[in-house]
Amino acid sequence: MKIAVAGTGYVGLVAGVCFAEKGHNVTCVDVDEDKVKLMASGVSPIYEEGLEELMRRNNATGRLHYTTDYRGAYRDAEAIFIGVGTPEQPDGSANLSYIATVSRQIAESVERDCLVVVKSTVPVGTNDKVEQFIRDFLKRDVKIEVASNPEFLAQGSAVHDTLHAARIIIGTQSREAEATLRKIYEPFGLPIVSVDRRSAEMIKYACNDFLALKISYMNDIANLCELVGADIGAVAEGMSYDARIGAKFLNAGVGYGGSCFPKDTKALKYLAKQNGYTLRTVEAAVAVNEAQKTKLFHKASNRLITFQNLKAAVLGLAFKAGTDDLREAPSLDNVRLLLESGANVCAYDPVAADNFRKRYPEGECGGGTIRYVNAPEEALQDAHICFIFTEWGEIRAVVPEIYRAKMQIPLVYDGRNLYDTAAMREAGVEYYSIGR
């Protein structure tokens, strides 16, 4: 099938590449000419395991194309997937301006009957508005219908999550639209859950917010564990055997980040208030997560007199391992606080350092200094304190004895519970983690 994909971020690019991998003829549309040239050469603008390999393979077959010419891409597409961003606005609502721009471009470009599929995460009822908006601006006498097809990929495993999804959610208002989407996804061989459009939109928010709530709940329990002398690791293990709870998203830490959970919890909270309802559980999850991000910084502040002129090693900058994404990463708030407190930050991340450098250029910054290194051991050399914010394998591989040998003061605050507390203590490291 001939498919166009609007937007080449995590959602759009991964979807487009995977559609091509399954045999469809795909054109990915982006406004950035340099980005289009980069992708055409087989280089991904985002770090995602396995993505570049699929890009190069499908570029070579001629099934995958990239362009800034949206008119040409949309003109005769049988299906157009919208995968542009819906960033959070100051009041917590979703910014739909990119959706509106693409919708109008589609309306002014299509020359044949077409199914428009919204993959972007949008508030409930948005697909109805998109369909009406496109019809309002249509230039030709063609039939346009809009469907909802929310994505459920996780950054760091997005390709696998797309090709081996637990299920495909499709939201349609007609048998014809449902049949088209089923045809598109038939080569994937995955279970398909077909519902109405508004239910599909709500499924996306309900899933993400439930997982965010689960994370915040475990962090809340972890904080109580510290006060009463329990071990959150042992508690999580005991919980994991209960099939009603499951084993995933039970790890305590410094809170969730990324492009989905922070934005989607706030968006659903806003949507509820717009409809005269208060989602108390979601509001609690948001509040717990916000406080959790800087928990270790404040604990370290109580331990030290000052951060002024101290070398602070920061291991891990991405919001989680497997990605270079910094959106809502705990490292951002903590590095800002360290710099404002006069610390000399030495940061390591195997893939996200370049992105972090764009926000915090190397050198003097905010009252302190920051520089970036290529190995955890280099960051630890002569450090007075260390913070761990991302669970990279490269960081986990650093044995406890290295902290004692490299640091001036072996003082470690671990936001991902990477180490055994007894092993760190035996190595002579003053070690603080979450809920233990």
Task: Quote the CA–CA distance of 397 and 14 in Å, as a whole number.
Answer: 30
CB-count exposure of residue 110 (10 Å: 0-12, 13-18, 19+) = buried
Q: How far apart are CA 354 and CA 388, in angstroms?
A: 18
**Max alpha carbon distance in the chain (Å)?**
76
Q: Which residue has tokens 């960033």?
A: 87
Give CA–CA dist 51/43, Å, rounded.
Answer: 9
Which one is catalytic: 28, 114, 225, 260? 260
Angle (CA) 20 25 27, round 5°:
90
Q: Any alpha helices (H) in 164-231, and if so which ranges?
A: 175-185, 197-228
Positive or negative torsion for Cα 55, 57, 61, 63: negative
What does the CA dihedral 231, 237, 240, 242 come to, rounded to 10 degrees? -90
CA gap 26, 6 in Å, rounded:
11
Rounded to the nearest 5 degrees, what angle is found at the Cα of 405, between the Cα atoms of 412 and 339? 40
- Residues 240-272 as b/e (b if ≥16 CB within 10 A, e otherwise) read eeeeeeeeebbbbbbbbbbbbbbbbbbbbbbbe
Cα-trace Rg, the chain: 24
Cα torsion for 158, 163, 164, 170, to the nearest 10°?
A: 90
User: Look-up: residue for tokens 């219908």?
Assistant: 145
Known catalytic residue at 365: no
Instruction: State how beta strands 363-365 and 368-372 pair.
Output: antiparallel
In 3D space, the residue among 307, 359, 355 whose CA is nearest the CA of residue 333 turns out to be 359
Looking at the DSSP bridge assignments, the partners of residue 6 are 29, 82
Catalytic residue numbers, as ranges: 260
